[in-house]
Structure 1
Amino acid sequence: MPSSSCVAWSPDLLRYDFGPGHPMAPTRLDLTMDLVTGLGLLEAPGVHVMAPVPVPDDVLTLVHDADYVAAVRAASEHGVTDPARGLGTEDDPVFPGMHDAAARIVDGSYRAAGLIADGTVDHAVNVAGGMHHAKAGAASGFCIYNDAAVAIQRLLDDGVERVAYVDLDAHHGDGVESIFWDDPRVLTVSVHQSGTTLFPGTGNAVDVGGLHAPGSAVNVALPRRADGVRWLRAVDAVVPHVLRAFRPGVLVTQHGCDAHGDDPLSDLDVSVAAQHTAATRMHDLAHELTDGRWLALGGGGYAVARVVPLVWAAVVGEVVHAPVAPGQPLPERWRQRVLDVAGVLPPEAFDALVEPRPWSDGFDPADDVDRAVMSTRRAVFPHLGLDPHHD
């Protein structure tokens, strides 16, 4: 098995910029990679840093409609809005160079997937990626092109028989799910705040895949204010079981960190430590199930100073086999830069990891998180040959 890893990064990725006041601020990527560098993670043995460039249209049309790609180009080059395709909306305002900026993000995930498929690397990460809301023919939720879906399609085209996608963003991974809704080769798993209380309003437990792929979509829709311990209990009660039943050849994970209690765009309360713990879980599952073949992506996350850099630096640490240790201090130079840029002082160190009460301890019908988990298990486990009532 290869022992090298790929980190997709270039300062050019900061050009994905919807303008002042938009939540998808390039600062979150800038501060993340500054922390990654300060922790020495890019200097770990076997790390290859790949600078993404805009992919050609034939890569985008692996999952996107050609007329949509043309509409993005028109918006990017001539400022032509197309609200029917999500271009020029409050969430996705048009900006010059938008096509190239979005296509560059796709390249980071697309080429990383190719390196995993051909055995050049075992792990790869693109923290600028995870644009999971983009549909085949429309932008949505700050996402122009769906790099996660393009990467999954490349893995399939390169001969991987089954790909599992796990989405830990606070918002349902609707774009990836819709693109592979009826494809039995792809398992999409999303652990998110319920669509009854949060954008995009989808991702119910009973949504389990298309006519030709029942059980290929798994949705855990959580109540507001679910904290890190209960969130991680939900992850543990569903994700490992469905992955083991599906037996993927490659694992793709999306680590949107907007489930944090400080995030302005969700109502969950999941700590950095819990999200860090989840990254270690995904890493362990990759080694257990896919011979270590793992592509990790970023996603949402709008607490740009105290949350996003810490979560994603921990993800990068897992990918490059230099895990961030609980209690590891944050570099003072980086902390001062955060204060200068964002006006807030981040923590002094990473917190300890989180261990939730295991599902094997028993279902609690009085707990709203447990009820959400059981709804998912009852809806989808039988399709995968699993018993929803037993661990």
Structure 2
Amino acid sequence: MSGNALFVHHEQSLKYRFHDHHPFHPLRLQLTLDLLRACDALNSEEMLITRPATEEELLWIHQPAYIEAVKALSESPPDPAWMERAEQYGLMDEDTPYFPGMHEAAAYVVGGTITAVDAVLSGRADHALHLGGGLHHALSAKAAGFCVYNDAAVAIAYAKRRFGARVLYVDTDVHHGDGVQWSFYSDPDVCTYSIHETGKYLFPGTGFLQERGEHLGYGACMNIPLQPYTEDASWMECFETSITRLIGYFKPDLIVSLHGCDAHALDPLSHMHCSMAIYSKMPAILHRLAHAHCGGRWVAVGGGGYDMWRVVPRAWSLLWLEMSQHPLKEALDREDRPQTELPQSWAGKWQSQTPTPLPAFWLDDLTRWEAIPRRAEITAKNRENLAVALQDYPRVP
């Protein structure tokens, strides 16, 4: 498989920052960049500097009045009249509060994902990664779940408008990818897929089996809601079976995948019990499927993940190691390998800033994890949901 990949980034994306104590903190990205550089897995030749999205591009997904509100609430301080209206646009709650420079920072996030899509569909690279992206909860006229503008949805619209591409969107964040789903719910040329903790217990409360698209888009939407405390084996069984069946059925020109890493057992905002192993295996499956079904064309973005010290840097680094086919990833994939240590220079730089001991190894030592008592019941329920999700999708030779 090709390792022709670009890492899309701009320092402006680090300004997408609500406040110092907010869980969606740009330090997650800085920690990842430092880890990749510490293991010689990212160089300047692989990096692609991005641009901000234009207002015309934002309007492909977002309502004019909403963009006007985001701009007005980005001022420091905003006009009091706009502050009184912030709540109706989802920009007043503790999840997604307005902040100075919000519009520009969010526009750079969107522009980064557009840049990644353009690099792949123009033939400049087979794969492109924009870890600053992944704002999948933003709706047409409302912010939600830490997301102001929906970069994935705008970039998919760009792929359609500029290149006429048929796009498969794959969301592996533990929270349902609602904003992208609703943006293309009746579009037969964009298939949205999300595997997540069931919305019965977790924000945003959507992503159920019966959400399958509407009108011409019926069938171009698949959700795999999983039970709380799902572990690696069940998660991977459901993911690999469903995404392999779906891509053969849909036949995309491009995969756009979102890689939140909040299904990890250490994440404070969900109830899953997965390890770092799934964040090594899922990108490998997508890499293989991209080459098998759409000429290798694959764009990936970041997303959630709120244990920013122990989980996010490792998970996002594993994604880039896979996309770039770095030799370290091959070593980590060997079943007979001993545990591979993280660079000591990385831990040495950051350990003083967190009271939590930083991990010493790339993958988790599962011999130290307690077993989930309801494993059999959880696995059976997940298999039931998987069967229902797949019932309208025939196997394709």
Same fold (TM over 0.5): yes
Q: How does 1:64-83 map to 2 (within 5 A)?
A: 64-77=62-75, 78-79=77-78, 80-81=82-83, 82-83=86-87
Q: How does 1:194-213 map to 2 (within 5 A)?
A: 194-213=198-217
Aligned to 2:294: 290
Partner Cα distance (1:176, 1:223) in 2: 22
Q: Per the alignment, do residues 303 and 3 of structure 1 end up closer, same or farther by CA in structure 2, a change over 3 Å counting? A: closer
Aligned to 2:228: 224
Task: Kindly indicate whether residue 46 of structure 2 is the aligned counterpart of residue 34 of structure 1.
Answer: no
Number of aligned residue pairs: give it: 375
8 Å contact from structure 1 (residues 227, 269) kept in 2 = yes
Answer with 370-379 or 190-199: which moved more: 370-379
Q: Deviations over 1:301-331 (max 9, x none)?
A: 0000110000000111112221523243211
Answer with 72-81 or 3-12: which moved more: 3-12
- Mind listing any 5+ residue stretches in structure 2 that lack a counterpart? 333-338, 367-374
Amino acid at match of 1:76: S
Answer with 271-280 or 342-351: which moved more: 342-351
Task: Kindly indicate whether residue 276 of structure 2 is the aligned counterpart of residue 276 of structure 1.
Answer: no
Partner Cα distance (1:9, 1:351) in 2: 26
Task: Kindly indicate whether residue 370 of structure 2 is the aligned counterpart of residue 335 of structure 1.
Answer: no
Partner Cα distance (2:43, 2:70) in 1: 37
Amino acid at match of 1:199: F
Q: Deviations over 1:142-174 (max 9, x none)?
A: 000111111111111123441101100000000
Task: Kindly indicate whether residue 187 of structure 2 is the aligned counterpart of residue 178 of structure 1.
Answer: no
* Equivalent residue in structure 1 for 2:387, among 355, 377, 383: 377
> By how many angstroms is 1:68 displaced?
0.9
8 Å contact from structure 2 (residues 134, 152) kept in 1 = yes
8 Å contact from structure 2 (residues 279, 319) kept in 1 = no
> By how many angstroms is 1:386 displaced?
4.5
> By how many angstroms is 1:371 displaced?
2.8
Q: Per the alignment, do residues 3 and 197 of structure 1 end up closer, same or farther by CA in structure 2, a change over 3 Å counting? A: closer
Amino acid at match of 1:24: F
Amino acid at match of 2:172: L
Amino acid at match of 1:306: R
8 Å contact from structure 2 (residues 10, 112) kept in 1 = no
Partner Cα distance (2:279, 2:3) in 1: 25
Answer with 254-263 or 225-234: which moved more: 225-234
Amino acid at match of 1:231: W
Q: Deviations over 1:289-309 (max 9, x none)?
A: 111100011100000011000
Partner Cα distance (1:137, 1:376) in 2: 32
Partner Cα distance (1:293, 1:314) in 2: 19
RMSD: 2.2
* Equivalent residue in structure 1 for 2:146, among 133, 142, 150: 142
Answer with 220-229 or 315-324: which moved more: 315-324
SS at match of 2:42: helix
Q: Per the alignment, do residues 186 and 381 of structure 1 end up closer, same or farther by CA in structure 2, a change over 3 Å counting? A: farther
Task: Kindly indicate whether residue 319 of structure 2 is the aligned counterpart of residue 315 of structure 1.
Answer: yes
Task: Kindly indicate whether residue 269 of structure 2 is the aligned counterpart of residue 257 of structure 1.
Answer: no
SS at match of 2:203: coil
Amino acid at match of 1:104: Y
- Mind listing any 5+ residue stretches in structure 1 that lack a counterpart? 355-364
8 Å contact from structure 1 (residues 167, 190) kept in 2 = yes
Partner Cα distance (2:364, 2:238) in 1: 19
Aligned to 1:349: 361
* Equivalent residue in structure 2 for 1:101, among 102, 105, 122: 105
8 Å contact from structure 2 (residues 236, 278) kept in 1 = yes
> By how many angstroms is 1:379 displaced?
4.2
Q: How does 1:356-367 map to 2 (within 5 A)?
A: 367=377
- TM-score, normalised on structure 2? 0.89
Q: Per the alignment, do residues 288 and 73 of structure 1 end up closer, same or farther by CA in structure 2, a change over 3 Å counting? A: same
SS at match of 1:338: helix
Runs of 4+ with >4 A deviation: none
Partner Cα distance (1:160, 1:56) in 2: 20
* Equivalent residue in structure 2 for 1:153, among 137, 157, 178: 157
> By how many angstroms is 1:108 displaced?
0.8
Partner Cα distance (2:346, 2:164) in 1: 40
> By how many angstroms is 1:58 displaced?
0.9
Partner Cα distance (1:57, 1:136) in 2: 14
Partner Cα distance (2:25, 2:354) in 1: 12
Partner Cα distance (1:279, 1:18) in 2: 29
8 Å contact from structure 1 (residues 208, 218) kept in 2 = yes
Aligned to 1:60: 58
Partner Cα distance (2:357, 2:288) in 1: 32
Amino acid at match of 1:232: M
